[in-house]
Structure 1
Amino acid sequence: MTRKTAQTTQEILMADFQTLVNDTERLLAHTSSLAGEQADELREQIRESLLKARETLQLTEASLRDRGQAAVEATEAYVQAKPWQSIGIAAGIGFIVGLLATRR
């Protein structure tokens, strides 16, 4: 479920940035021919898209930070509850990484 939520958030973020890029490209293409109210309207649309993208980015950052903190706390609790198993797991992972590193 967490992976699905992260994927959905990433898709929303990418869509917001794509909209921002499209609006910016439109502004650049039309800047020379637009005057007054039309240019102001397009700039306002771009500003709104940028604000929305920033908000989504901040929400994503907060979500990732919270999940990272939860993972750290869960890992610490596991290591404190089962120190010998943790050492065994770490040694096993180190052994596998060492094998993979020497193959190359």
Structure 2
Amino acid sequence: MSKNNASNDLRAELASLADTLEEVLNQGSSKSRTELSRLHQKAQDALQNSRDRLGDSGERIAQSTRDAAQKADSYVHDKPWHGVGLGAAIGLVVGILISRR
């Protein structure tokens, strides 16, 4: 799953949680004890579901980061001089940016 899809899933999950909590807050003052209990349970379920799904999204993002790091490590091991050149180029750019301050 791409970062964009994970980000969209995160936004959708947070929006769903916000809608559920808004419903609980808006309807809380005018409901009976039984209805309040039902709304409380609905809010708890939504929160738990969000936590579960957000944990899954975080794990997918972490896995894609680990995969990218592993590919970069393999590339540098396979082509060490390219890695040295890239490191030197990055160092040069950072040095130029720091010297301008």
Instruction: State the TM-score, normalizing by the size of structure 1.
Output: 0.82
Match of residue 77, structure 1, among 74, 78, 82: 74
User: How far 1:29 moved relative to its partner?
Assistant: 3.2
Alignment match, 1:87: 84
* Superposed CA RMSD: 1.7
Q: Does 1:62 align with 2:59?
A: yes
Can you give the 5+ residue segments of structure 1 that lack an aligned partner in the other structure? Answer: none
Greater Cα offset, 91-100 or 41-50: 41-50
Tell me the SS of whatever aligns to 1:32. helix
Q: Name which of 25, 29, 34 aligns with 1:37.
A: 34
**Which consecutive residues of structure 2, in runs of 5 or more, have no partner in the other structure?**
none
Higher relative contact order, structure no. (Cα contacts within 8 Å, ≥ 6 residues apart): 2
Instruction: Using structure 2 for the length normalisation, give the TM-score.
Output: 0.84
Aligned length: 101
Percent identical residues: 26
Query: Quick one: which amino acid aligns to residue 72 of structure 2?
Result: T
Flag as ranges the 4+ runs of structure 1 deviating above 6 A.
none
- Which deviates the most, 56-65 or 15-24? 15-24
